[in-house]
Structure 1
Amino acid sequence: MTTTISLQYCNITVNDVDEAIGFYQDALGLRVQSDVPSGRFRWVTLGSDAQPGLEIVLSEPHAGRSPADGDALQELLTKGVLPMLVFRSNDVDATFETVRASGAEVLQEPTDQPWGPRDCAFRDPSGNTVRIAQAPAT
């Protein structure tokens, strides 16, 4: 039998979980998979039918971390320097219009990139850079 491995969770640090749910659910069409209280914080995951089994965890900077680590993560989030998220869409132009209509800050309108994809970029409500890419036509 061959052993397999796949990504199950990826984390997004946000300032306000409810505000982030609104963005990722309403603008990007993800669904809340779980929303479970965990002390002062919550375990919230979002997913897509396009990738069953992969969930995005929304967490606040201090959730599950020491005060010093939470403060350091909050500083990076405030500066907008956490790693970007890149989503894939089969129609980046339509997705762009949906996300723009949500009021998200536009960083880049849909553009054909020299390395292949057509993509666009936004900031989520916490300042994270979110790119949306469409594979080039084959």
Structure 2
Amino acid sequence: MNLLSIRIITTDVEKLAGFYEKITGLKAIRYTEEFAELKTETATLAFGSTKTLQLFGGDDVAKAAQNRTAIIEFLSKSVDDDYARLGELIGPHLVQEPTTMPWGNRSLLFRDPDGNLVNFFTPHTPEAFERFKRDTE
């Protein structure tokens, strides 16, 4: 089994996909007005409109902008550089400035326009570098 994709249900696919394009520098693929994907080397972040919920059983299957349990994480070359580059964009949504965590990663935590937590992290200690060695080479 291999995790391939995470999908965020949103009321505004264009706004959310555009935000993730700005923070990652990647271009989202827009298949329709109701569905887009941002593909990275290891996984895909998908954006589905609330209108797509009808295909999965109805409006009550998921609720847009209601997530309070998951953190969407991106491995970054330098969260400090990301913070300098994205400061204005993420400023109103900043949760935590770059901070070195007890497990050895340097982390930048903020929210996307729908309130989902986003973590950019960079291995910072030798042990953390070793854990992510295959992902940073």
> Is the Cα contact below 8 Å between 1:35 and 1:44 reproduced in 2?
yes
Secondary structure of the 2:103 match is coil
Paired letter, 2:49: E
**In 2, distance between residues paired with 1:100 and 1:17?**
23
1:58 aligns with 2:53: no
- 1:11 matched to 2:11: no
For residues 60 and 2 of structure 2, what CA distance do their matches in structure 1 show? 32
Amino acid paired to 1:86:
E
Q: Name whichever structure is richer in helix by fraction.
A: 2
Count of residue correspondences? 122
Moved more, 61-70 or 126-135: 61-70
Q: Work out the CA distance in 2 between the residues paired with 1:82 and 1:13.
A: 14
C-alpha distance 130-55 of structure 1, shift in aligned 2 (>3 A): same
Residues in 2 aligned to 1:129 and 1:29: alpha-carbon distance in whole angstroms = 18
What letter matches 1:67 in structure 2?
A: D
TM-score norm. by structure 2 comes to 0.76
Q: Does the 8 Å contact 1:28/1:95 carry over to 2? A: no
Structure 2 counterpart of 1:98: 85
Judged with a 3 Å threshold, the aligned counterparts in structure 2 of structure 1 residues 98 and 61 are, in CA distance, closer, same or farther, namely: farther
CA–CA separation in structure 1 for the residues paired with 2:37 and 2:7: 9
Contact 2:13 2:35 in 1 (8 A): no
Deviations 1:26-59 (A, max 9, x none): 1221221x3122xxx52211123xx16x321111
Say whether 1:69 aligns with 2:34.
no
List alignment gaps of at least 5 residues for structure 2: 127-137
TM-score by length of 1: 0.76
CA displacement at 1:62 relative to structure 2: 4.3
1:21 corresponds to 2:17: yes
Identity of aligned residues (%): 24
Over aligned residues, Cα RMSD in angstroms?
A: 2.1
